[in-house]
Amino acid sequence: MLNRYPLWKYLLLAFFAVVGAIYSIPNMYKPDPAIQVSGDSSAKIIDAPVLAKMEAALKAANIEAFGGEVNSKTATLRVRDVEQQLIARKIIQKSLGDGYVVALNTASTTPAWMQSIGANPLKLGLDLAGGVHFLLEVDTDSAVAKRQEINADDMKEKMRKAKVRYAGVAALKDNQIHARFRSADARDEAITLLKGDFPTLVFTTPDNEQNEFSFYANFTEAGVREIEDYALSQNLITLRNRVNELGVSEPIVQRQGRNRIIVQLAGIQDPAEAKRVIGKTANLEFRLGASAETLVSNKEAFPYKDELMQMQRGNAELERQIIVTGDRVSNATSSFDPETNQPQVNITLDSLGGTHMHRVTRNNVGRGMGILFIEYKTRTQTVKNAAGEDVEKTTQYVERKVISLATIQSALGVQFRITGLDSPAEASELALLLRAGALAAPMHFVEERTIGPSLGADNIQRGVDATLWGFGLVVLFMIIAYRVFGIFANIALALNLVMMITMLTMFGATLTLPGIAGIVLTIGMAVDANVLIHSRIREELKNGASPQQAIYAGYERAFITILDANLTTLIVGVILFAIGTGPIKGFAVTLIVGIITTMYASVSCSRALANLVYGRRKNLQKISI
pLDDT single digits (tens) 68-107: 888 877 888 999 887 788 788 888 888 887 778 787 777 8
Torsion of CA 261, 266, 270, 274, to 10 degrees: -10
**Dist CA 608 CA 529 (whole Å):** 15
Whether residue 39 contacts residue 101, with contact meaning beta carbons closer than 8 Å, is answered with yes
Residue range 45-51: mean pLDDT, rounded: 86
pLDDT tier, 302 (very low <50, low <70, confident <90, very high otherwise): very high
**Dist CA 301 CA 299 (whole Å):** 7
Bridge partners, 325 (sequence order): 285
Residue range 556-562: mean pLDDT, rounded: 81
Res 102: pLDDT: 81
pLDDT tier, 420 (very low <50, low <70, confident <90, very high otherwise): low
Whether residue 527 contacts residue 473, with contact meaning beta carbons closer than 8 Å, is answered with no
pLDDT single digits (tens) 473-532: 888 888 888 888 888 888 888 888 888 888 888 877 777 788 888 888 888 778 888 888
SS3 340: coil
Helix (H) or strand (E) holding 180: strand 176-181
Whether residue 107 contacts residue 78, with contact meaning beta carbons closer than 8 Å, is answered with yes
**Dist CA 553 CA 549 (whole Å):** 6
The residue type of 235 is N
Residue range 550-579: mean pLDDT, rounded: 85
**Dist CA 548 CA 477 (whole Å):** 25
Res 454: pLDDT: 52
Whether residue 4 contacts residue 620, with contact meaning beta carbons closer than 8 Å, is answered with no
SS3 262: strand
Q: Calculate ∠ Cα 364-368-373, nearest 5°.
A: 120
The residue type of 488 is F
More confidently predicted of 488 and 615:
488
**Dist CA 377 CA 442 (whole Å):** 9
609: buried, middle or exposed (CB in 10 Å: 19+, 13-18, 0-12)? Answer: buried
Query: Is it the case that residue 616 has pLDDT exceeding 80?
Result: no
pLDDT single digits (tens) 372-416: 888 767 676 777 777 777 776 767 678 888 887 878 888 888 887
Instruction: Please provide the DSSP assignment of 147-214 as one string.
Output: HHHHHHHHHHHHHHHTT---SEEEE-TTSEEEEEESSHHHHHHHHHHHHTT-TTEEEE--S--SS-EE
More confidently predicted of 23 and 427:
23
Give the residue among 229, 52, 67, 63 at the shortest CA–CA distance from 143: 229
The residue type of 465 is D
Residue 524, C-beta contacts closer than 8 angstroms, at least 6 positions apart: 470, 474
Give the residue among 370, 362, 348, 352 at the shortest CA–CA distance from 417: 348
pLDDT single digits (tens) 256-294: 888 899 888 775 655 666 776 676 666 778 899 888 888
The residue type of 197 is D
pLDDT tier, 538 (very low <50, low <70, confident <90, very high otherwise): confident
**Dist CA 153 CA 217 (whole Å):** 13
Res 154: pLDDT: 83
Q: Calculate ∠ Cα 313-316-321, nearest 5°.
A: 165
Asked which of 157-171, 291-305, 452-466, 533-547 is least confident by mean pLDDT, the reply is 452-466
Query: Is it the case that residue 199 has pLDDT exceeding 60?
Result: yes
Percent of the chain with pLDDT over 90: 2
The residue type of 478 is M
Give the pairing of strands 123-124 and 510-511: parallel
Size (the chain), residues: 625
Query: Is it the case that residue 451 has pLDDT exceeding 80?
Result: no
The chain-wide mean pLDDT, for the chain, equals 81
**Dist CA 257 CA 291 (whole Å):** 46
Res 521: pLDDT: 84
Res 318: pLDDT: 92
Give the residue among 242, 625, 603, 247 at the shortest CA–CA distance from 434: 242
Residue 414, C-beta contacts closer than 8 angstroms, at least 6 positions apart: 348, 349, 350, 351, 353, 354, 357
SS3 412: coil
Predicted TM-score (pTM) of the model is 0.55
Q: Classify the C-alpha dihedral 75-80-83-88 as positive or negative.
A: negative
Res 452: pLDDT: 54
Query: Is it the case that residue 581 has pLDDT exceeding 80?
Result: no
Helix (H) or strand (E) holding 403: strand 390-407
pLDDT tier, 458 (very low <50, low <70, confident <90, very high otherwise): low
Query: Is it the case that residue 309 has pLDDT exceeding 80?
Result: no
**Dist CA 412 CA 324 (whole Å):** 12
